[in-house]
Structure 1
Amino acid sequence: MSRTFHLTIAYDGTEYSGWQVQPGQRTIQGELEQAAATLLGKSAADNAHTSDEISDPSGIGTGDRESPRDPSSYSLRILGSGRTDAGVHAWGQVARCVLPGWRADTTAVLRGLNSRLPPDITVLAVRETLPSFHPIANAIGKRYRYQVQFGGQRDPFAIRTHLRVHTAIDTDLLQAAAERVIGEHDFAAFQATGAPRASTIRTITHSAWVADPRHVGGDRLGGVANLGQRWYYEVEGNGFLYNMVRNLVGTMLEVGRGRQPLRWIDDVLESRDRKRAGATAPANGLTLVQVHYPEEIFLAT
């Protein structure tokens, strides 16, 4: 009998070509599937994706439904709550892992996977779920963080996780811009091409720029080099379009630089035109913080 598990995963996405399995590329999904396969005594070759599975590695069609295929007819697959891009990080990515014939507890799953994963990917927690658990369809909310260094010298310890902004920024304007997107809006202007959705309406419940309390007033490296100020943008909602957070950040930075007025945020939202918004912020600053699920999907422990 198969058992279904909810995995909470953290990773540094710098060295990976994103979450989704791709031919000839290192990916987060690929590393997890290889670890799970060897945990069950399979070889990596036995667990290789077919071309059809690579084009739809989740086993989901365009309607976010499970594939009608019998799961025993193809190799072990791990489905994530979303497909983070190359260079994007996670503190709380969620994935479904189905292990046929597994008899040990969740601690054994966690230890077994972590002992087989590279050091920049870690399974933080494992919970058993109902067999019907679906990490995309069952998600009720997500939280992202985008980290920025304003001014100062290049920090070698933050270069993988922070966007460095050289120009002067008015953080009060950034905060005001963030508040403009709270609530239910049509975010079509902030959706990148390549992943169309049936609806572009989303509800944002939290949107704020915050000074990182660990770096108030800037840092000094070796007591000499000024490393500027660290801020982060944190946003939570019931769902996000492709590249939506990075496009929001790029647009807000235009306001913070004084290149666009605050009311421009409203104009961009109303336009539903991606060309009206700001540039897409680089991937390295973005981290998936948490994915929320109803407690009903979990089995009692």
Structure 2
Amino acid sequence: MNKPAFTARFNQGDRVAMAVSYDGRAFHGWQSQRKPQVATVQEALEQALGHIANAPISVQCAGRTDAGVHASHQIVHFDSPCERDEKAWVSGGNTHLPPQVAIHWAKPVANDFHARFSATARRYRYIILNTPARSALLSGGVTWENRPLDVQAMHQAGQALLGELDFTSYRAVACQSNTPMRNVHFLKVSRCADMVVIDIEANAFLYHMVRNIAGVLIAIGAGIKPVTWAEEVLLAKDRTVAGVTAPPSGLYLVGVTYPESFQLPSSGSGPFFLAGF
């Protein structure tokens, strides 16, 4: 097995970009709540990196995920308070992390890089196990749907959501974004054996947007609603007409896009059990 080549070295004050994956079942979302009894991914990562730096570290992420939502390729950045090499941040950081969180790489970036504001797109995958019986092994890692799903109908319905549109009907009532406008670059629904995969990329997402889209597409795939319903919900600009919010267990942040000038490694497709798909 080839050992990872850790070549980068960081000086004090250097900005560090990092790729992280996590199993959201163990956490109350990404964002730190500064409460000892509430575990969050951000707090776990900051504590681990703080051990390596022997100093407090505050990280910024590309997209804050909710409780129970996973990530195979979350991007974060922080400013190094000390001189360390890449191996220290990656291998050393992982030794201080819980098993549900892993650092994959750390790279030096320009000081104007920002994990959130420099991103031009985010990509999520919503994974549905479409079998008559639930899986004990994948519990919490996918959403289970025992009704047969028509993948072609789901994909066709999703094409009405492409482009820069008003997603009022697809955001949570508690969403605090100043605008409901988002630009969806692609939305694909396909089947991989017993898995139905909703693959969606946009410039950014509203609170619960992907899960609300998944809820609508599942209803269409199950034959409860017609293909046209996804567009009807969109045009209504009313959250109450959209139906249920799909569970968080099937949702993965799988990629973040940045300008090529930052030269960050590609994300792959994720999550790991759909590698190559």
Query: By the TM > 0.5 criterion, same fold?
Result: yes
**8 Å Cα contact 2:124-2:251 kept in structure 1:** yes
Indicate the structure (1 or 2) with the bigger Cα radius of gyration: 1
Q: Does 1:90 align with 2:101?
A: no
Q: Does 1:138 align with 2:118?
A: yes
Q: Does 1:120 align with 2:100?
A: yes
How far apart, CA to CA, are the structure 2 residues paired with 1:128 and 1:194?
A: 36
Amino acid at match of 1:260: K
**Aligned residue number for residue 79 of structure 1:** 60
**Aligned residue number for residue 18 of structure 1:** 29
**Aligned residue number for residue 287 of structure 1:** 252
How far apart, CA to CA, are the structure 2 residues paired with 1:76 and 1:149?
A: 38
**8 Å Cα contact 1:203-1:238 kept in structure 2:** yes
**Mapping 1:21-170, distance limit 5 Å:** 21-22=32-33, 23=35, 24-42=37-55, 75-102=56-83, 104-170=84-150
SS of 2:80's partner is strand
**Aligned residue number for residue 65 of structure 1:** none
Query: Which of residues 167, 176, 182 in structure 2 aligns to 1:196?
Result: 176
How far apart, CA to CA, are the structure 1 residues paired with 2:123 and 2:63?
A: 12
How far apart, CA to CA, are the structure 2 residues paired with 1:15 and 1:27?
A: 8
**Aligned residue number for residue 55 of structure 1:** none
**Aligned residue number for residue 64 of structure 1:** none
Q: Does 1:205 align with 2:205?
A: no
Aligned length: 251
**8 Å Cα contact 2:158-2:230 kept in structure 1:** no
SS of 1:153's partner is coil
**Aligned residue number for residue 13 of structure 2:** 2
Q: Does 1:259 align with 2:220?
A: no
How far apart, CA to CA, are the structure 1 residues paired with 2:50 and 2:88?
A: 15
**8 Å Cα contact 2:19-2:103 kept in structure 1:** yes
Amino acid at match of 1:82: G
Which aligned segments of 4 or more residues in structure 1 are displaced greater than 6 angstroms?
none
Q: Could you say what the CA RMSD is over the residues aligned between the two structures, in angstroms?
A: 1.6
**8 Å Cα contact 1:15-1:87 kept in structure 2:** yes
How far apart, CA to CA, are the structure 1 residues paired with 2:188 and 2:233?
A: 19
How far apart, CA to CA, are the structure 1 residues paired with 2:100 and 2:251?
A: 16
Q: Any idea what the Cα deviations from partners look like across 1:232-273, whole Å, max 9, x if unmatched?
A: 111011111111000000011111122222222111111111
**8 Å Cα contact 1:79-1:95 kept in structure 2:** yes
**Aligned residue number for residue 234 of structure 1:** 199
Q: TM-score, normalised by structure 2?
A: 0.86
